[in-house]
Structure formats: structure tokens, C-alpha cells
């Protein structure tokens, strides 16, 4: 019985262990909530980016009566050196010219040169561009390398939730856990 009464023995009491487990649980919960907040912020930034690009695209059209990148007006926007074919479809090199036109028209800020891959990045770190999508028969905002669950979340919230129909489409089904290319009709 002497062994049970020895207060100098080393070790933790059940109360101390329970307290440590509660603290660890709270830390894990906080980290998971923080990750969810970061992911939600990226999704909101993606949506805002699409809305901003759409507004810039149509502002250019209102000003010049032609789509940025696709225009073939030699004096518009000022200092423009690249012209499209003005057929209404942003295709080929026009998708690179588009952002340069928006900057030269002072509709957006940036350093887009009209060269290949001179485009903004999305919240997930890959490219964004506007181009013709034959499946949707429309110019679309194209986001590259969007996590499958984020792409599905945007599709469910703003469209029909099906990867291959509606105004928001992905390059493959949301059940495959790979990054998606998302096409969002203008």
C-alpha cells in the first residue's frame, strides 16, 4: 500500500491527460476551421475574379463596339499593336491580346504584353484567360487547375452542379479527385 501513497512518483494524472487531450482537440479543430476559411476565401476570390473580368470585357465592348483581343481597330485602344479578326470569337492569339487591350484601355491594371501566356493568375496559382468555347458556343472565362471540390462548389452554387452541362463546365467529372479546367460562359 505504500506504493499507492507515494506522492513523489513520476507520471500524469487522468485529469492532466484529459486536459492535454482537450487542448489538442481544440487546436486540431482550429486548424481545420482555418483551412476551411482559407478555401472559402479562395472560392469567393475566384467568383469575384470572374465577375470583374466579365465587367471589364463588356466595358471594353461598350467603349469600342468590339471585344478585347478580337478587335481590329488600329487606333483602339491607344498604343495597341495587336489586332484580332473581329469575328466575335476570342481564339488563337486573341486570348493573349485581350488582357493587353484591357490594360491599354485603362479598364484593368497589370503588365500584360499580348505575348503568349501573358495572362492573370487565379486564386489557386494557375492561369486565367478568356477564349471561345465551341461546346458552349460562347466566349468563356477559363480557370486552370481548380481543385475538384471547389469547382463543384462553384458549379452547384451558380449553375446546375453537373460538370458537362450549363454555363459552368469542367473538363472532367467532379468525382475524380483531380484539378479541373473550369469554363464559365460570359
- What per-residue confidence (pLDDT) applies to 167? 97
**Which residues of the chain register pLDDT less than 70?**
1-9, 32
- What per-residue confidence (pLDDT) applies to 6? 56
- What per-residue confidence (pLDDT) applies to 5? 56
For 102-148, the pLDDT digits (tens) are 999 999 999 999 998 899 999 999 999 999 999 999 999 999 999 99
70, 89 Cβ separation under 8 angstroms: yes
Q: What is the pTM of this model?
A: 0.81
Per the structure, the complete domain to which residue 105 belongs is given by 15-185
What is the torsion angle, in degrees rounded to the nearest 10, for the CA atoms of residue 45, residue 58, residue 83 and residue 101? -50
Total domains in the fold of the chain: 1
- 1 lies in a domain? no
120, 95 Cβ separation under 8 angstroms: no
- What per-residue confidence (pLDDT) applies to 94? 96
φ, ψ for residue 133, nearest 5 deg: -120, 110
- 10 lies in a domain? no
What is the side-by-side strand order in the sheet with 180-185? 128-133, 138-146, 180-185, 168-170
- 140 lies in a domain? yes
- 109 lies in a domain? yes
- What per-residue confidence (pLDDT) applies to 37? 82
- 5 lies in a domain? no
Amino acid at each position: 500500500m505504500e506504493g499507492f501513497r507515494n506522492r513523489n512518483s513520476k507520471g500524469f494524472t487522468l485529469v492532466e491527460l484529459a486536459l492535454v487531450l482537450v487542448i489538442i482537440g481544440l487546436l486540431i479543430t482550429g486548424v481545420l476551421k482555418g483551412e476551411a476559411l482559407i478555401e472559402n476565401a479562395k472560392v469567393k476570390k475566384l467568383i469575384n475574379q470572374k465577375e470583374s473580368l466579365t465587367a471589364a470585357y463588356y466595358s471594353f465592348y461598350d467603349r469600342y463596339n468590339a471585344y478585347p483581343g478580337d478587335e481590329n481597330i488600329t487606333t483602339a485602344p491607344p498604343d495597341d499593336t495587336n489586332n484580332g479578326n473581329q469575328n466575335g470569337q476570342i481564339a488563337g492569339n486573341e486570348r493573349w491580346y485581350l488582357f493587353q487591350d484591357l490594360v491599354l484601355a485603362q479598364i484593368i491594371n497589370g503588365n500584360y504584353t499580348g505575348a503568349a501566356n501573358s495572362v492573370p493568375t487565379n486564386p489557386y496559382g494557375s492561369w486565367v484567360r478568356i477564349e471561345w468555347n465551341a461546346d458552349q458556343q460562347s466566349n468563356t472565362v477559363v480557370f486552370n487547375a481548380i481543385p475538384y471540390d471547389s469547382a463543384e462548389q462553384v458549379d452547384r452554387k451558380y449553375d446546375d452542379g453537373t460538370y458537362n452541362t450549363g454555363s459552368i463546365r469542367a473538363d472532367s467529372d467532379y468525382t475524380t479527385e483531380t484539378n479541373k479546367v473550369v469554363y464559365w460562359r460570359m
